[in-house]
Amino acid sequence: METYIPISFLNDFIFCPRSIYFHQLYGNFNTQIYQQKPQIAGRAAHSSIDEKAYSTRKNILQGLEIYCEQYKICGKVDLFDIDSGKLTERKRQIKTIYDGYVFQVYAQYHALIEMGYAVNSIALYDITHNKNHPIPLPHENPEMQRKFENLIEQINSFDMNAAGFIPVEAKCRNCIYSNLCDYSLC
């Protein structure tokens, strides 16, 4: 069986590689057992996309399941306007544009290109502030594209038990899995 990386893992891995393991451990448990207010609010803000109720226009793809053969990544696209070629990832609130956010839309971009769509622009949309944040396309930012590819290599070669993992106190303090983690600094 071929393995693939869920798009959500890109941001999670940057936060903490071990969090992916703990997320999988919870598997089909009710998310109320472990999610905190930010995750619950984010899921609620995303509900119109998940329910495909954001738009009734035929040219707006919403919640489209995608797969990128080149990078072995799968997930969903929040919004893609076929006519304009605009790819939009919705976030409840954006205080900082983290690399993980950019990598998530890069994964979506590459999958859409493989599927034959023309992606002309990318944006992160801050729902709380009703603000679009344009993101350069991967070929317009080669350094970020290299970092994206490097992250995929790191995920594919990560060993949970290997020496060298160094926890980061600020991240551990905000981690919803800190009670399970033997590396946690909390």
The model's pTM: 0.80
Instruction: For residue 1, give every residue at least 6 positions away whose Cβ sits within 8 Å of its Cβ, in sequence order, or none.
Output: none
Interval 26-40: pLDDT, tens? 666 555 555 556 545
Phi-psi region of 87 (alpha: psi -120 to 50; beta: other; left: phi over 0): beta
What domains lie within the chain, and their CATH numbers? 5-23+36-173 (3.90.320.10)
Q: 100: helix, coil or strand? A: helix
Interval 60-106: pLDDT, tens? 999 899 999 999 999 999 999 999 999 999 998 999 999 999 999 99
119, 116, 106, 50 alpha-carbon torsion, rounded to 10°: 90
- The pLDDT of residue 169 is 65
Show the tokens assigned to 44.
Answer: 């609620």
- Look at strands 86-91 and 121-126 and give their pairing: parallel
